[in-house]
Chain A
Amino acid sequence: MSIEVRIPTILRPYTKDQKSVEAAGATLSALITDLDANYAGLGERLLENGALRRFINVYVNDEDVRFLGGLDAQLKDGDSITILPAVAGG
C-alpha cells in the first residue's frame, strides 16, 4: 500500500526537503504514525493532544479530511494526501 503525501514548505525540514513522500496506513491516524516513524517529529507538527491541529489542513484527494472522519478517515492505495498550513491570523 502506497499513498503519496504532499508536504508543505514549512514541514520540509522534516522530510529532507522532499516535496512529496510515500507513506502507508489504512486510516489517516495510521498514516501519520507511519510518517512519524520515517520522518521523526512530523507527527507532532500535525497532531496536538491526539487530535489533528486546528491550523493544519489535511486533504484526501480533493476533500478536507475533517469531512471524512478526521483521523479515522479511511485511506486506500493510490490516494493522495495534501498537507497545507492554514492561512490565518488575527
Chain B
Amino acid sequence: MSIEISQAFADAILEQSRAEYPDECCGVILGPVGSGKALRHKPMLNAAHSPTFYEFDSKDLLALYREADDNDEEIVVIYHSHTETEAYPSRTDIAYAGEPGAHYVLVSTRKEIAPATEFRSFRIVDGVVTEEPVTITG
C-alpha cells in the first residue's frame, strides 16, 4: 500500500496547518470510487477548535458523504495536523478511525523540527496502524 499526493495538495495541507495553528487542521482528499486516486482536496472545519483534538462538524460530515455519493467519489485521504507532536496516529486517532479504506495522513509542524515538516500516511484498521510510503507527485 502507498499513496500518491500532488505537490499542490501537500503544500495546501501544510499551509492550512500553519494557518490554523495552534489548533489542529483537518480535511479530506476525494477520488473516484475504487480508483484509490487522491484527486480533489477539500479542507474541513475542525469543529473541536482544539490544539489536541479534531472532529468534522456533524452537518459537514453528512454533506461530505452526500456530495461524494453524488459525484461517485469516495474519501481516499483523511488528514489532520499535529501541532506539537510527531506525525504519528495518537491513541484517540486509532480509537476513532472509522474508515478502514482511507489513507490517514498526518502532518506535523512542531517547532523542534521547523522549518522542516513531517508528512506521513497510515492505514488504521481494527486498531492496527501500518505506515505506508507517500509519493509526492509533480
- Give the complex CA separation of A88 and B59 in angstroms: 14
Return chain B residues, CB-CB under 8 Å to A29: none
Q: Kindly supply a per-residue 1/0 record for chain B positions 41-83, scoring 1 wherever the CB is within 8 Å of any chain A CB and 0 otherwise.
A: 0001000100011111011011001000000000000101000
From residue A7, how far is it (CB to closest CB) to chain B in Å?
Answer: 12
Across the interface, do B101 and A86 meet the contact criterion of CB distance under 8 Å? no
Return chain A residues, CB-CB under 8 Å to B92: 88-90
Across the interface, do A9 and B101 meet the contact criterion of CB distance under 8 Å? yes
A84 CB contact (under 8 Å) in B28, B54, B65: B65
Tally of contacts, chain A with chain B, CB under 8 A: 67
Which residue on chain B has the smallest CB distance to residue A64? B58
Across the interface, do A59 and B62 meet the contact criterion of CB distance under 8 Å? yes
Q: Is B89 an interface residue (CB 8 A)?
A: yes
Q: Is B26 an interface residue (CB 8 A)?
A: yes
B54 CB contact (under 8 Å) in A59, A82, A85, A89: A89
- Give the complex CA separation of A55 and B28 in angstroms: 18
Q: Is A10 an interface residue (CB 8 A)?
A: yes
Q: Which has the most chain A C-beta neighbours within 10 Å: B53, B55, B90, B93? A: B55
- Give the complex CA separation of A77 and B26 in angstroms: 37
Across the interface, do B62 and A87 meet the contact criterion of CB distance under 8 Å? no
From residue A66, how far is it (CB to closest CB) to chain B in Å?
Answer: 8
Q: Is B127 an interface residue (CB 8 A)?
A: no
Return chain A residues, CB-CB under 8 Å to B44: 87
Across the interface, do B58 and A8 meet the contact criterion of CB distance under 8 Å? no
B62 CB contact (under 8 Å) in A62, A85, A88, A89: A62
From residue A6, how far is it (CB to closest CB) to chain B in Å?
Answer: 9
Which residue on chain A has the smallest CB distance to residue B65? A84
Q: Give me the interface of A with B, judged by CB distance under 8 Å.
A: 8-10, 55, 57, 59, 62, 64, 66, 82, 84-90
Q: Can you name 19 A-B pairs with beta carbons within 8 Å?
A: A9-B99, A9-B100, A57-B58, A57-B61, A59-B62, A64-B58, A84-B98, A85-B99, A87-B26, A87-B55, A87-B99, A88-B54, A88-B56, A89-B89, A89-B93, A89-B95, A90-B52, A90-B90, A90-B91
